[in-house]
Amino acid sequence: MAKKIGILFGMEDTFPWAFIDKVNELGNGEYEAEAVKIDKLEQGADYGYAVIIDRISQDVPFYRAYLKNAALMGTYVINNPFWWSADEKFFNNCLMTKLGIPVPKTVLLPSSERPDDTSEKSFRNLSFPLDWDYIFDYIGFPAYMKPHDGGGWKSVFRVDSPEDMWLKLKETDQLVMMLQEEIVFEDYYRVYCLGKKYVHIMPYAPTNPHHLRYAAESKTKGKELKELLKTIKEYTIRINEALGYDFNTVEFAVRDGIPIAIDFCNPAPDADKNSVGEENFKWIVENAAKLAIQKAKAYKPGKSNVPWGNFVTDK
């Protein structure tokens, strides 16, 4: 019987179906792909998938619970739903400082509004006011303010001054925000990474309209470009090995020839043909299918498959 590879997705139209077709093409009858079908979720039940590619559980908690159960039953879930549930951007930035990978200067800000069921006494360990003079001098302006555990450019603000920051912070309610230095860059790259080892580097223009962001060219040339891309590849693999992600994109802003990791936890990254373009789409579909088949080969029904990022180990 063929081993089943599933993909869990939402409104995407191009990548899921192309992925299914590619797995079925490469699987030679030994591996078959399909859209995951869920008609019930019983605790401890095995629904028979060797591998599941997750593209939607960040928005649907029911799916996250389904995937955790599947992992306990032996399914290899891409990406690890346990780590994704714990992941957040501020911790990832802290981890980058330990790995020696350049990141923007960043500080964490308490939420503008107190969390529910808390009072002033809940914050007796927090100095009031914070050392704002240090924070503003350290970060500088303009700066960016974003949720410490957010994504998808939700609640992201560019702030030009302390007064501008105070005003926009009021709009964030109970969100815990990061304040981050602005990186003025000469080059920018978005990088696919699969299986913590397969890397595809794409020049990227984040300020362009969405459908034109991949229509960019490197301004760096010659020997300098070769060395830059080598460093970006090395950083990308190091980041994903530490975070434990099998399907991710990493974004680098290049300032004074140094790639600075800007965004590196995108475990359901854009893979739509209409935005990434034909060449990039072909790479992600083919390599995602190959990765899924590789992981499916090791599938043993009933054997728990709960991988964790190796950031928890002391190397």
Tens of pLDDT, residues 257-313: 999 999 998 889 999 999 999 999 999 999 999 999 999 999 988 888 876 655 444
pTM of the model: 0.91
pLDDT at 184: 97
Which of these three, 147, 181, 215, is where a domain ends? 181
Shared domain for 159 and 209, answered yes or no, is: no
Task: Kindly state whether residue 138 falls inside one of the protein's structural domains.
Answer: yes
Distance CA 85, CA 88 (A): 9
Looking at residue 150, its amino acid is G
**Measured on CA atoms in the order 45, 46, 51, 52, is the torsion positive or negative?**
negative
Do the domain assignments include residue 279? no
CATH number at residue 81: 3.40.50.20
The Cα 270–Cα 266 span in angstroms is: 9
Residue 294 lies in a domain: no
Is residue 37 classed as helix, strand or coil in its secondary structure?
Answer: coil
pLDDT band at 315 (very low <50, low <70, confident <90, very high): very low
Residue 298 CB neighbour total at 10 angstroms:
12
Q: Are 260 and 241 found together in one domain?
A: yes
pLDDT digits (tens, 9 = 90+) for 183-216: 999 999 999 999 999 999 999 999 888 888 998 8
Could you tell me which of 82, 79, 81, 76 has the C-alpha nearest to residue 296?
Answer: 76
DSSP3 helix / strand / coil % (the chain, rounded to 5): 35, 20, 40
Does the residue 284 lie in any domain?
no
pLDDT at 4: 98
In a domain, 287, yes or no: no
Quote the domain boundaries for residue 117.
Answer: 105-181
Residue type, 257: G
Inter-axis angle of helices 89-99 and 222-243, nearest 10: 120
Report how many domains make up the chain.
3
- Position 78 in a domain: yes
Q: What DSSP string describes 45-89?
A: ----EEEEEESSTTT-HHHHHHHHHHHHTT-EEES-HHHHHH--H
- Please tell me whether residues 32 and 48 are part of one structural domain: yes
Q: Is residue 144 part of a domain?
A: yes
